[in-house]
Chain A
Amino acid sequence: MALQCEIAHEVRYDRKNYFYPDTPKNYQITQYTHPLGAGGCLELPSGRRVSITRLHVEEDSAKMVHQGSDSLAGSTHSLVDFNRAGIPLAEIVSEPDMRSGAEAAEYGRELQKILRYVGASDGNMAEGSMRLDINVSIRPRGEEGLRPKVEVKNVNSFKSVQQAVDFEVVRQARAYDAGEAVRQETRMWDEKELASKLMRVKEGESDYRYFPEPDVPPLALASSVVQAWRATLQELPAAKRARYQDPAGLNLDAETTKFLTDDLAVARFFEAAVEQHGAEPKEAAKWLVGDIAGHLNGNKGRVKEFGKIKLTPAGLAELVGLIGQGKITGKIAKELLPELLDEWEGGEEGAVLDLVQARGLEAITDPAVIAALVQKVLEANPEKVEDFRGGKTKLLGFFVGMVLKESGSRANPEVVQSLTVEALNGA
């Protein structure tokens, strides 16, 4: 459903028969004639639409580890890990709608995002919970139909997807330029050498002797059930992006939108802060994209994962609100942030303000208080005051900085600026 597929009314399975050591029964339960979903599509952030041919459910095979070589050929022996054999997986087949390695990688990332949004998979490629094979076929611009395709296996990251596709495009183009034909074959991506290597050449279609799986009875999916599922479907990345960028709505820029929607947890946090706790959207987004992300990526903070931060959406909303109302300065907020993220225990309404007050970190806006600070700074630097009055107006920044420092970053910077200028020029 998340891939806009037509959902089958009846879930049926078939058996695919072939002898290979990675399939302990020497047949695979799969969906050949009746895939669970078909005819879907997926819209990439770049705007390109990729059609989804089908999504079918099948058994995973065992993991083969070839010893002494990267592939079965040339290896001395092979180890077979049956732990994942027989576990159900969903295979998603797309139409040849991508035009470059970058687009293929973008498709992979978007698909991963959707699968994570709907909770179908954690999409972890390193652990093999999301794997992909790519098929590359090139043709001269304007040519109709598709030339033989080359399948590339062992592509274990989106970066590799881009590299492998681009490599294949060049390899095939060179072959055509040299007057050679490109065979339908299966190649393997070598991450170290950044090159694809021949695995096997397809010699015609194998006869897998498919027939209806007799051990798993068909399962009827009532349309009421499918409708109920559809009703609970998460807002998907593309729709979320459109909503975030809507000029009549949140009106966020593309980069901020991408950051917020890449991870559903971040998007949910953002939406809670804005919708439930009244945070100003752009300000809340700025904090999430900037300082909070920086804290998680940097090496000073203790918390490294977004899901583990102590700050709540309500806390972020309050923080942004306090700055907006001039109750704390941005500088103080930045200073408080690591604590709010790493160890804060407050969570109730007004908890951020309580913390600010307990520490005596409220913003200073009283001109009399600030004027006294300015006076103090001017008196401590008589020579620089002379210099300024002698024409070195660049020194204004120095005085403002000194006053702010003197206030412990609590003074309102605008008031400081105007009072400092006044004092320097007036006396």
Chain B
Amino acid sequence: MLLDVARSLVNAMQRRLLPSRALGNSRSRKRLRDGPRRPVDIRRAQHACPSSPSSPPGLQRRVTRTNYSTQSQQSAVSMVEIAAAIRKGNADPFSVMQRCLSRQQETSGLNSFVTVLRHAAEKEAAVAGRHSVMKGPLHGIPIAVKDNFCTAGVRTTASSRMLANFVPPYSATAVSRLEASGAIVVGKTNMDEFGMGSATLFSHFGKTINPWSQAAEKGDKPRLAAGGSSGGSAVAVATGSALAALGSDTGGSVRQPAAFCGLVGLKPTYGRVSRHGLIAYASSLDCPGVLTRTVADAALVLDVVAGRDPLDSTCLEQPHRPCFDRTMEAAASSRAAGLAVSLRGLKVGIPAEFAIQELEGSAVTAWEEGARLLRDAGADVLPVSVPSIPLALPTYFVIACAEASSNLARYDGIRFGFRGSKSLRASRSKEGIGSADTEEDDQRALHDFITASRSQGFGDEVQRRVISGCRVLSAQAYATYYEKALAARIRLRREMNTALSHVDVLLTPVTPTGPFPLTTPAEPAALMVNDVMTVPASLAGLPAIAVPVDLAPSSFVPGLPVPVGLQLIGRHLCEQQLLIVARALEVRCNFSERIPDYVVKATFT
């Protein structure tokens, strides 16, 4: 089923047959219709469309038109600035924590947290406030942690019924490093079960709602998705319930919710941050990531969590090159300093294959604008080609499901986790205890027991992916699906690296559309299209970052402004360069000052 969908997706993408869903501005749509297969040539496009320098830039025009009220200066303060204030004694960790906790309470209706550690966090913040010695660069900073990172003594559910009562005895390396640097965990955030989803819709603990949907009057207007699977982490940061959040990105699970909620979402190079203690979904793709308000915030958090870890064999040995240097710090607190950062000599590639049929007009506009802004900053913007991009999505699903089917096999109800209602003893004693007289009978009883636990403990989406994964690894399907996916992955990785040998970074949209309404789609695979822009970097193991660049009217809720993000993909282990480019883009978009007040201020209980 999933496979058929995956297959039809590829076909559709290759033949451009998918029905158009997006309702972007007619100009972009028309251009895409006129030249469906033509790659977006950013230079040609700029000469041909109103967003060229000769006419008023679409970005500025739209902002002037919508004229959203902007948030107060205080709320716009970044994590880096608060950390500096704490260090200088100008801010008190306890009151910083209180502000976050009250924001969490005011927005509890968005359902961003599975577990809130109110008392523990308050207590720790009070202790942090009394200490004159700083534990580290994140001293007293409230952070939210996605609920698939193990936290010692705090239940870790992966938003699954299977782990609803699981309390790990140890903490994930990323969490331990954050805590060692002084950060305080506010709570565990909601997610798609085991990371499987793109909307934080498939959670045992309910859906998470995007704070940007609040402007729509309550009642009949649909609520928008926060994105996923790290939707809870995104909403926690977007609402000010935490100053930064840990997420995990398997195929876009950090970047996509960041884009949907107007945040920065960083997925580092695969292996840059340890996976130890991260509940596995797809081992070869899973990557701890960071969601923050600003690029500098993301850089600082990355510096804390990155680096080798003997507890994860796939964690890279190379020492981490710090990304949050003085330049970044200076730029973080001063727009002028940021604008001074020149990208002269840097080459930005625009991969033609990302210009797919499903791309919304606003995304195309933002993409063009982003390219222009980087050029303004001194970069050369060139078209590049990654021909295998249409294969990325099906390749991703085959590999992710295959690994998931194996990684999730440990949840059998025997040693820990949810145990199905059909007990082993009951299964065995259909004809009385001890009546099973062959090993086959016992095997059957055992399998009935395991099946009951897994059927009841896993949600539908997880079951779909596990079953698909078992299928693609089966003897009959291995060569047709899994082997081909491995080959496609190698090809894609090679093409991406080749493209990145000509340019320093790639610039692409993050998602084809803006945040969509939070309704379970009739066809579960429809949601997968959302990952089309983000899976290539995941398959290639390259660092990628989503940066909020623009506001655009939602194509799903008329009149509602929603954020639009752009994705930058960097070279292997070149987070430093990636973040500098992201910072240059960020400061020229000036997004943070255009976030509507209600997103960070409004209560929602």
Contacts and interface: CB of A to CB of B under 8 A. Distances in A.
A209 B473 contact: yes
Given A73-B439, A207-B475, A25 B409 contact: yes
A21 B442 CA distance: 12
A interface, by DSSP: helix, strand, loop or mixed?
loop
A214 B541 CA distance: 13
Nearest to B414: A21
Given A24-B415, A26-B412, A76-B433, A19 B313 contact: no
Interface string A211-246: 110111100000000000000000000000000000
Contacts of B433: 76
B283 interface: yes
B434 A211 contact: no
Interface string B93-130: 00000000000000000000000000000000000000
B584 interface: no
Contacts of A73: 436-439, 441-442
B313 A216 contact: yes
B439 A72 contact: yes
A184 to B, nearest CB: 15
Interface string B382-426: 000000000000000000001101100110101100000000000
B409 A26 contact: yes
A76 B405 CA distance: 31
Interface residues of B, number: 34
A212 B437 CA distance: 37
Interface residues of A, number: 26
Given A207-B474, A207-B475, A74 B440 contact: no
A211 B403 CA distance: 9
Interface string A14-28: 010101110011110
Nearest to B285: A214
A157 B85 CA distance: 71
Contact of A25 (B402, B410, B447, B475): B410
B450 interface: yes
A294 to B, nearest CB: 49
A71 interface: yes
Given A19-B412, A215-B313, A217-B314, A27 B439 contact: no
Contacts of A217: 313-314
A73 B283 CA distance: 37
B5 interface: no
A266 B280 CA distance: 51
A44 interface: no
B403 A27 contact: no
B342 interface: no
Given A216-B313, A217-B313, A211 B406 contact: yes
Contact of B406 (A24, A71, A209): A209
Nearest to B436: A73
A25 B412 CA distance: 9
B284 to A, nearest CB: 4
A5 to B, nearest CB: 25
A27 B437 contact: no
B529 interface: no
A215 B447 CA distance: 26
Contacts of B410: 24-26
A1 B335 CA distance: 64
Contact of B434 (A21, A27, A74, A200): A74
Contacts of B474: 207, 209
A7 to B, nearest CB: 21
A24 B415 CA distance: 8
B447 A200 contact: no
B434 A215 contact: no
Interface string A63-100: 00000100111101000000000000000000000000
A199 interface: yes
Contact of A71 (B280, B402, B409, B439): B439
A215 B405 CA distance: 14
B194 interface: no
Contact of B470 (A26, A74, A209, A210): A209
Contacts of B412: 19, 26
Interface string B449-487: 010000000000000000000100111001000100010
B180 interface: no
A324 B478 CA distance: 74
Interface of A: 15, 17, 19-21, 24-27, 68, 71-74, 76, 199-200, 207, 209-212, 214-217
21 contacts: A17-B473, A19-B412, A19-B450, A21-B446, A24-B410, A25-B409, A26-B410, A26-B412, A71-B439, A73-B436, A74-B436, A74-B437, A200-B439, A209-B470, A209-B474, A209-B475, A209-B478, A211-B478, A212-B486, A215-B280, A217-B314
Interface of B: 280, 282-284, 313-314, 402-403, 405-406, 409-410, 412, 414-415, 433-434, 436-442, 446-447, 450, 470, 473-475, 478, 482, 486
Given A73-B441, A214-B283, A217-B314, 7 more contacts: A19-B412, A26-B412, A73-B442, A74-B434, A211-B402, A214-B314, A216-B313
